[in-house]
Amino acid sequence: MQSIDDLLAIMARLRNRDGGCPWDIEQTFETIAPYTIEEAYEVADAIDRKDYAHLRDELGDLLLQVVFHARMAEEGGHFAFADVVDSICDKMVRRHPHVFGDARFDSAQAQTANWEALKADERAASGDEDTSALAGVSRGMPEWQRAFKLQQKAARVGFDWPDVAPVFDKLHEEIDEVRAEFAAGAGTERLADEIGDVLFVCVNLARHAKVDVSQALRHANAKFERRFRRMEAFAADDGTRLAALDLEAQDAYWVRAKGEER
């Protein structure tokens, strides 16, 4: 059974300018970052599919990303993998005083409030002077996730609708505004602004429904892909191609594909 030390040694050899891998050697934080994000999504996909053998492999790929970044940081004299481990261990102990200390919380809500207070203290200690309730929402995350985090933080100080009904009202309002912009022949900039409002409210709707936006969209994508591929199969069985058919004929295949799933 190999250990994390073996993986660290493998990465060090790959990055070694004397006999290492040319591709690995030329990589930087910036070039590797997209792969890190991609691997995180691959982990989520394996979880969605309950493919645990694949999940094991994808977690390994994600761990490799951490090791890759840590190796580049060590080469630059910034920190090493051991420092990454120390940092996260310290943070987990510090942020769970009810587990590793004597703190007691009456509810999960009180624990969450304490978690946010601890994070604010950490930001202040690092020199971050942003004291907004929205502080700490990374600009590097996917925008749908950032929308969720911003709404969640605003809700913690009471800026939130009391239930889902007004969210539906707001969604209808924003859709009507998009429709009006289309009717008026608005340009891309205006449409982007209004469609952005619709998407923001959709995230809010998902938040009130306690639905993970990314997971919901992954399921919708998978459903569309599954049905579209069935449409292509139906067309092939009929001796034609989907692209050769008009929209009415294509839609008939779509209805048929949906009917198979019921």
pLDDT tens-digit map of 45-98:
899 889 999 999 999 999 999 999 999 999 999 999 999 999 999 999 998 988
Among 94, 112, 139, where does a domain finish? Answer: 94
Q: How many CB atoms lie within 10 A of CB 68?
A: 19
**175 neighbors 197 (Cβ within 8 angstroms):** no
For residue 32, the enclosing domain spans 4-94
Q: Quote the CA–CA distance of 24 and 34 in Å, as a whole number.
A: 15
**155 neighbors 164 (Cβ within 8 angstroms):** no
Q: How confident is the model at residue 229 (pLDDT cuts 50, 70, 90)?
A: very high
**36 neighbors 69 (Cβ within 8 angstroms):** yes
pLDDT of amino acid 58: 97
Within-domain flag for 48: yes
Within-domain flag for 83: yes
The set of long-range contacts for 180-185, using a CB threshold of 8 Å and a minimum separation of 24, is none
Residue ranges of alpha helices (H) inside 140-262 are 143-156, 165-183, 188-208, 213-237, 247-261
pLDDT of amino acid 22: 96
Among 44, 65, 94, where does a domain finish? Answer: 94
Q: What angle do CA 189, 176, 139 make, to 5 degrees?
A: 45
Answer positive or negative: Cα dihedral of 32, 36, 41, 45. positive
Within-domain flag for 145: no
**231 neighbors 242 (Cβ within 8 angstroms):** yes
**120 neighbors 135 (Cβ within 8 angstroms):** yes
Within-domain flag for 132: no
Number of domains in the chain: 2
Q: Quote the CA–CA distance of 44 and 126 in Å, as a whole number.
A: 31
Residue 194 in this model has a pLDDT that exceeds 90? yes
List pLDDT tens digits, range 129-158.
777 888 888 887 788 889 999 999 999 889
Within-domain flag for 162: no
Within-domain flag for 137: no
| Mean of pLDDT over the chain | 92
Rounded to 5 degrees, what are φ and ψ at 257?
-65, -40
pLDDT of amino acid 151: 95
Q: Quote the CA–CA distance of 24 and 41 in Å, as a whole number.
A: 22
Among 37, 72, 94, where does a domain finish? Answer: 94
Q: Quote the CA–CA distance of 39 and 35 in Å, as a whole number.
A: 6
Q: How confident is the model at residue 101 (pLDDT cuts 50, 70, 90)?
A: confident
pLDDT of amino acid 80: 97
Percent above pLDDT 90 for the chain: 73
Q: Which of 40-44, 95-99, 102-106, 258-262 has the lowest mean pLDDT?
A: 102-106
Within-domain flag for 87: yes
pLDDT of amino acid 12: 97
Within-domain flag for 126: no
Q: Which residues of 163-181 are buried (b: 16+ CB within 10 A; e: fewer)?
A: eeeebeebbeebeebbeeb
What tokens were used for 225?
A: 């892909």
Return the CATH number at 66: 1.10.287.1080
